[in-house]
Amino acid sequence: MSNLAGRRAVVTGGGRGAGEAIARSLAEAGAAVLVAARSAGQVERVAHDIQRAGGRAWAATCDVTDEASVARLADTAAGAMSGVDILVNNAGIAMSAAVHSTTLEDWERVFAVNVRGTFLCTRAFFPGMVARGWGRVVNIASTAGLRGDRYIAAYAASKHAVLGFTRSVAAEGARAGVTANAVCPGYLDTNMTRQSVARIVEKTGRSEAEALEAVLAVNPQRRLIAPSEVAAVVRLLCSAEGASINGEAITIDGGELRR
């Protein structure tokens, strides 16, 4: 399937986890992909793998919280691909704590990556999409963007903010052939979830197996969601056939929010 041939994509947080799967999937569908994150080794590995498989890819180190770093990412994209049609704002961090033990620093760190980063990258690439009359912005939010829960106030608030931002970008791009959507996964089989399990072990003294069971219990299918499942939905949103899906928050959660 090469329905993205000729499209040029930027994937933030593309060095591992969901972002890596998204970068690989877009490249398989024919898009040229600029893979961005802070860890040079990780983004270079993903870009090299894509190149070895016959795709077009570049790696860029970027801290999405930093305006100057995002400006450099935009310069790199302009130099490599002379325009960006698809932006996947996947870079994100999580933290868990009760409200009373969430520090202002925790709060601002989570918002800096999840919200400010999504805004800065969108501001860098969305105007070019509007000017060219075609574009896709896909923001990786979370089921925590649609509901709150204990110990995730900062993370849930940041992902709710991503949804409000997404809907506004969707409205601004609608007449110009640009869509913006959010994807809201449940617990993924990635490093972030491994860290969540480790935190539960540390804070509650439960075994790793018990902590994992608590995480799995959130999903009615009792399993972690594969990054490739997120990538498949992103790929659909980026395709020509995704043109009428705009301003949505698409859950990929095994039914977590429908119980």
Binding site for ligand NDP (CB under 6 A): 12-13, 15-19, 37-39, 42, 62-65, 90-94, 113, 117, 140, 142, 185, 187-188, 190-193
Name which of 128 and 185 has its Cβ closer to ligand NDP: 185
Residue among 20, 16, 34 nearest 85 (CA): 34
Q: Which two tokens stand for residue 1?
A: 């399937």
Min dist. Cβ of residue 147 to ligand NDP (A): 12
Name which of 55 and 185 has its Cβ closer to ligand NDP: 185
SS3 per-residue string spanning 121-179: HHHHHHHHHHHHCCEEEEEECCHHHCCCCCCEHHHHHHHHHHHHHHHHHHHHHHHHCEE
Name which of 132 and 167 has its Cβ closer to ligand NDP: 167
Min dist. Cβ of residue 172 to ligand NDP (A): 22
Residues taking part in catalysis: 155
Residue 161 CB contacts under 8 Å (≥ 6 apart), including other chains: 111, 114, 115
Min dist. Cβ of residue 214 to ligand NDP (A): 13
- Looking at residue 34, its amino acid is L
Rg for the chain, CA atoms, rounded = 18
Name which of 140 and 178 has its Cβ closer to ligand NDP: 140
Distance CA 231, CA 252 (A): 11
Name which of 191 and 207 has its Cβ closer to ligand NDP: 191
Min dist. Cβ of residue 14 to ligand NDP (A): 6
What ranges in the chain are assigned the alpha helix state H? 17-28, 40-52, 67-81, 104-111, 117-132, 153-173, 191-204, 208-216, 227-238
- Specify whether the CB–CB gap between 142 and 90 falls below 8 A: no
Min dist. Cβ of residue 242 to ligand NDP (A): 19
